[in-house]
Amino acid sequence: MVVQQTWIMGAVAMVLVVEDDRAVREALQLSLRRQGHDVHVADSGERGLAFLREQRPDLVLVDLMLPGIDGFETCRRIRAEGDLPIIVLTARSDDFDVVAGLEAGADDYVVKPVEPRVLDARIRAVLRRAASEQQASDEHFGDLVVDRTALVVTKGGEPVALTPTELKLLLELTRTPGRVLSRQQLLSAVWDHDYLGDSRLVDACVQRLRAKIEDDPGSPRHVRTVRGFGYRFDRL
């Protein structure tokens, strides 16, 4: 797996905005363009997916409420194709929506109406790739191998396709095996949520990570839940 360059603040990122409301679409386009991004727009999930077949943006911003195939389904299809980072934009207030969006594969979410500054910070956090560590050697955890230099993860010799967020989470957890990390610690380390994040982001990402690196995601042996505290990575 070839990992792209570490994202540098201020660099141009290609962002696809999938939003059905014309005003919101135009305003987001305007705002993000001024933040220095290369913005493309689509007014439906279908058009968004069609765009993705032709080009590869750095990030997709998807509204959950879309005509035709909705935001959840759009997320699932993007995720099925690969590790493209996704931020969902939700106008609905139900916590259920957020959870469903995260389960569909979103890396982060923002609630409408969102301040451009907040949105930009979230975008940059998601795009900031895991930094490779020069001195580190391959670490073996059973049949799981984490290469901190090349940022490659293999399981039983096969490369594991992780999204940037999942990779960052795994690197964070494996940095201190056996030590419990609280959700808030993980939020600030992986998502750059400075002081107040939604711990469901962590839970959803842990679920996806387990599905990829555990033999039995239902009874995980590496990424263990420590009730009331957070998560712990076990060597085995």
Partner 1 sequence: MNRRWSVGLRLRLVAAFAAVAVGAVIATTGANYLSARNTILQGVQDRAMDTLRTQVSTFAATVPLPPTQRDLDALQRRLNGYVAVFYRELRSTGGPPTEELPTEFRAAVHDSDRMLFQRGLWSASAPYLMIGMTVRTQNSAGAVEPTGLEIYAQISLASSQADISKLAMWAWVTGALALLVAVGIALLAARSVLRPVRELNVAARRLADGQFDTRLRVRGGDELAELAHTFNSSAATLRHNVGELRRMESDARRFVADVSHELRTPLTAMTAVIEILEQETDRMPPDSAVAARLVAGETRKLSRLVQDLMEISRFDAGRAGLELDEWEVATAVRDTLAARGWQDSVEVELPEGLVARLDRRRLDIVLANLVGNALRHGAPPVLVRLWQEDGGVVIEVSDGGPGLPESVLPHVFDRFYKADSARTRSEGSGLGLAIARENARLHGGSLSAGNRQGGGACFLLRLPGVLV
Interface stretch with partner 1, choices 48-56, 116-124, 148-156, 208-216 (CB under 8 A) = 116-124
Distance in Å from the first CA to the final CA of the chain: 25
Stretch that binds partner 1, among 49-57, 93-101, 135-143, 210-218 (CB under 8 A): 93-101
CA proximity to 166, closest of 179, 182, 151: 151
Give the footprint of partner 1 on residues 28-67 (CB under 8 A).
Answer: 28, 30-31, 34
Q: Of 19-27, 46-54, 66-74, 134-142, which segment contacts partner 1 by CB under 8 A?
A: 19-27
C-alpha 129 chain-centroid distance: 10
Evaluate whether 42 touches 69 at the Cβ level (below 8 Å). Answer: no
Q: Are 91 and 23 in contact (CB under 8 A)?
A: no
Give Cβ neighbours of residue 211 (< 8 Å, ≥ 6 apart): 217
In the complex, what is the shortest distance from the CB of residue 232 to partner 1, in angstroms, rounded to a whole number? Answer: 14
CB-side neighbour CA atoms (13 Å) of 227? 0
CA torsion, ordered 151, 155, 159, 160, to nearest 10 deg:
-80
Cα 101 to Cα 51, 74, 77, 106, 168: the distances in Å are 21, 10, 13, 6, 20
Q: Which is nearer to partner 1, 132 or 185 (CB)?
A: 185
Q: Angle of helix 116-127 relative to helix 164-175, nearest 10 degrees?
A: 70
Q: How far is the CB of 184 from partner 1 (least distance, A)?
A: 7
Q: What part of residues 120-149 is at the interface with partner 1 (CB under 8 A)?
A: none
Residues 164-203 that bind partner 1 (CB under 8 A): 182-184, 194-196, 198-200
Q: How many chain residues interact with partner 1 (CB under 8 A)?
A: 35
Residue 23 in contact with partner 1, rule: CB under 8 A: yes
Dihedral, CA of residue 196, residue 101, residue 231 and residue 142, to nearest 10: -140
CB of 25 to partner 1, least distance (A): 8
Nearest residue (CB) to partner 1, 33 versus 56:
33
Closer CB to partner 1, residue 157 or residue 228?
228
Task: Say which amino acid occupies 167.
Answer: L
Closest contact distance (angstroms) between CB of 73 and partner 1 is: 20
List contacts with partner 1 (CB under 8 A).
Answer: 21, 23-24, 26-28, 30-31, 34, 91-96, 111-117, 119, 182-184, 194-196, 198-200, 228-230
